[in-house]
A and B are shown apart, each in its own frame.
Chain A
Amino acid sequence: MQGDNISYVRTKMLPEATPPVSQQGIVKWVRENLFSSWLNAILTVASIAAVYYVLSGFLPWAISPTWSGTSLANCRDILSEAGRVDDHGTHGACWGVIRDRWEQLMFGFYPNDSYWRPTTALVLFLISILPVLFTSLPRKLLIGTAVAPLILFWLIWGGSLWTPITVGVGFVLGAAAFKIGSDRSGLIVAVLASLLVTILFWLFLSGPIATVLGKVIPIYLEPVRSKDIGGFMLAVIIGLAGIVLSLPLGILLALGRSSDMWIVNKLSTGFIEVIRGVPLIVWLFTASLLLNYFLPPGTTFDLMLRVIIMVTLFSAAYIAEVVRGGLAALAKGQYEAADSLGLDYWKSMRLVVLPQALKISIPGIVNTFIGLFKDTTLVMFIGLFDPLGLISAIRATTDWNGVYWELYVFIAIVFFIFCYSMGRYSLYLERKLRREHR
């Protein structure tokens, strides 16, 4: 360029202009995020309309001054005093039923003065699984985890403390027999010996010992029958017991399914597929209708225990699939490394493969638990008082006959809180595992 049009060259920077209104602040955000295209704009408007529609139906009903209502009729009086009447009668929720019965929805018919027991049990449980969930804690704490179920059982069902303790001693004796047996002779002998010792101890010794000790040092909690356990407590107990008890069986099944032994493999596969192929509700009906037919005449044990057994078998099949996923995800080199060290099958599983595979499986196990926890609502169809089952019981009293939505909404919210927080935890675990694997 020549010097004569130098005047067109700017020598001084212009001050920075502010971006146009449409390109800054909230307007820009709205434009880019909500109305970037026609389709997007339509979606935005439709979404907002949907949210408005739902909330405008729900909120006026839910915001209702009936917390102090003592019966459905009383609620209706309160509402009509507040002037909330339309052509169809009073309009508004009757929250009094929640105030009146929320303890029942939480604990079922558990004795009022013993609510601290299930609460303590839950806290204790959470503490005892910390060493499992957070691997940074010292491994010695796992002993506490192993002992916890017995204490939890005692806290919830009550009775003499010595009963669970002698049961625990049975396990310890069995473990000792296994150790001695495996040192002296082989694995099979050890397994047989430990089973024999444990069962003999439980059959003939644990009862008398517990009775004697109970007389000498009585540590005793008021026994509570399983029939009195209900509400969310029932759901939590069935869900947790199902998962915890099914873990050993699930791991065995997973090992069986990935085993080379043809018969063991096919048996495990068959069991898993049969259990998974049939809906839980059919299994629950089986537990309540048929299980007694398949046991020796005269054996009766309570429905809750039967349900726990069924749920354990059910979730074992699911856990097995989760663990199998963990086993498959493990690099082949790990198996080969264990083999090359000369470890036998059980040692290589116990020391090398399972610790890693189980760690990968924890998010899956938590998800299985969430599913199981939600599925415990099905026990209402066989006459147990889970939260949904309690609805019909609550409605059968003359005070609350006719209440409908309030209880469902309450139960849905509680379930959401439980499941959502557990789901978040499992997500956190997955992310953490992914980081560690990098």
Chain B
Amino acid sequence: MSAQGRLLIVDDELSVRDSLGKWFREEGYDIGIAESASEALTRMAESHWDLALLDIKMHGTDGIELQRRLHEIDPDLVVIMMTGYASVDTAVTALKNGAYDYVSKPLDPDEIAHIVKKALAHRETEKENLRLRETVAEITRPQELVGQSPAMKKVFEAVQTVGPTDATVLITGESGTGKELVVQAIHAASVRRFHPLVAIHCGALTETLLESELFGHEKGSFTGALYRKKGKFELAEGGTVFLDEIGDISLKTQTDLLRVLQEREITRVGGNQVIKVDFRCVAATNKDLEKLIEEGKFRPDLYYRLNVFHIELPALRERREDIPLLAHHFMRKFAQSMNKRISRISPAAMEQLVRQPWQGNVRELENAVERAMVVAQEPELKEQDFFFKAPPLPSSGGRSLEEIERAHILQVLEQCGENQSRAAEVLGIDRVTLYHKLKRYGWSRSAVENR
């Protein structure tokens, strides 16, 4: 491709084609010439063009119809119409059909050079804009929410339902259940996704600092306020404000927050100018807000304002079936970031993982896998690579009677040196029953005894 661009000139007058082609060639463009609509369509099929200069009045198919057909082939093609008659009607039709501009013959050299250059720059900007949007979408893509359990499927459905709306969302769940990931998913599914997602951890700040963070402050409004500062609601600028640990804010801040949510207006600390703000609010807490209301520590009106749509995230222990999936997900993630070729988790290690209490939920599981990945030898994560703080649940926890029976039979058999008669005696069942059970378990004698 030439530095300037590829231009297709379509006109049924030879002198126009020749003179314009030569003129644009001198300007540094790659030029294609067509004397009719059908030839133009052939040129389009043969190669790519950035811009087409079309004569409106041509024998056979005119420029307006040709423009429509060219755009069917390449919607990104920039079309500039030329006519010998300055007709407003045809100009309007051309522009309505997607032409970039319209010029009257003879063309003013300064004008046509400028229009073509501007049109191609505009096209480049649009392409760049698209590329940047895709990049932003890629960068802002939320980390994957992992889970196949019914509880998590309900969460995914809720995110899909509420994401595209502008409703305020309250997310509750224990610490480490992935509330921030849900916020990211809601933001990514919303029309506000190309605007910022601004998070603020309300519990980490004192009342005055939180006010300043949320609403901003004017220069000199308090000691240390050396500059005017925009608050989070202003910084969101059409995006999403995530208020984390909402249950930890003071009653005074709750009142201010309620006003912002109702009026969509803020006043900076130390200021008196009312500023309109456009944002979507998502709040999260691990506290029981209804209980806080009963204790007089949380405003019920703010609660109702926040609780327009409620998503409850299940604790990990309530969805143990997701643990293998999550463990493998984190294993793959850390294998990539640590550049380690670990591709599986041993059955014994997985059994331990499934049985852990996971008080810290998914975050704790993630940390456990990360730690194990550091010490593990390729290609497998083994039981000894994990360090479990809490003792595992009793072996019967969450298991069926059949599983317990199987484990017990195999344990006794091992203790009896794989002697089935002795094991049947210990278990109090007859030898044939034991044989059938072992067959069902797919058990076979160890290699040592078979020798």
Q: Do A and B come from one complex?
A: no
A contacts, CB < 8 Å to B: none
